[in-house]
Amino acid sequence: MTPPTNPEESTAIRAAVRAHYGARAADGPASPCCGNPDSAPALATLYESPDVANLPADITGLSLGCGDPLALASLEPGQTVLDLGSGAGLDCFLAAQRVGPTGHVIGVDMTPAMLDRARANARRLGMANVEFRLGEIEHLPVADASVDVILSNCVINLSPDKPAVFREAFRVLKPGGRLSISDILAERPLPESVRADLRSWASCVGGAIPAAEYVAALEAAGFVEVRVERQFGAEEAGLEACCGNDALPVFSARITARKPVSAPLVE
């Protein structure tokens, strides 16, 4: 079992993650998650949808994801969608195209420079049905039971308090609402040396937990029909070069889950 982080560690992790992604946002396009352009996976590898090719290259160039959370999301016109850790906004823009003018997409990110990029991109694309909010995914600035589908791409591994993220996701989803995530999971609990390394955390490795722990945390928050599908190995997901480790015990997975239509009665 992966030990929880204490409050001091959590504060240091959040600061390191915010600094890392603030720098990525400032670097401009073609700046991959783990800092080595040679390791960046092609978007055509990560994304199943051909829609991604229709967005400007400098917008898709700041994609820092590890999969395609829209692939299993089955978005429909008119839905409200929330993207946890929206970065420069790519998944929000793809979602906005699918939910159409009667739908609404909210991206939440804790890094101001990323929000600036995302808002500038939305203006440039003329997308009126997307908004970006500053906030932490452990304390979502989103109303209760207001969202049909939650997306997230390579973000929850970065949170030092994953149970809080899943409780918040459950709170903001409508009854019957769904979660469709791409994220980095660990083959087994990571060694303390990796978990204590802030650069590893910021690079989407140090905070990865095993699938069984991830599933247990989702179920503890109240989610049902939790499914995990392994998708890419560390190298394919662009992670290997970041940490100077030849055989990172992590992989990219798709995780889906649902909030029950009626919550169980609590005595």
3-state secondary structure (DSSP) of residue 51: helix
- Choose between 63 and 129: whose C-beta lies nearer to ligand SAM: 63
Cβ–Cβ < 8 Å for 170, 146: no
- Cβ 12 to ligand SAM, closest distance in Å? 13
- Cβ 171 to ligand SAM, closest distance in Å? 15
Residue nearest to ligand SAM (CB): 87
Distance CA 147, CA 224 (A): 17
Binding site for ligand SAM (CB under 6 A): 17, 21, 33, 63-65, 85-87, 90-91, 109-111, 114, 136-138, 153-155, 158-159, 204
Distance CA 153, CA 163 (A): 17
- Choose between 184 and 194: whose C-beta lies nearer to ligand SAM: 184
- Cβ 239 to ligand SAM, closest distance in Å? 11
Q: What Cα–Cα distance (Å) separates residue 179 from each residue in 165, 226, 239, 247?
A: 12, 9, 24, 30
- Cβ 261 to ligand SAM, closest distance in Å? 28
Distance CA 242, CA 6 (A): 25
- Choose between 51 and 225: whose C-beta lies nearer to ligand SAM: 51
Nearest Cα neighbor of 213 from 238, 185, 239 is 185
- Choose between 88 and 264: whose C-beta lies nearer to ligand SAM: 88
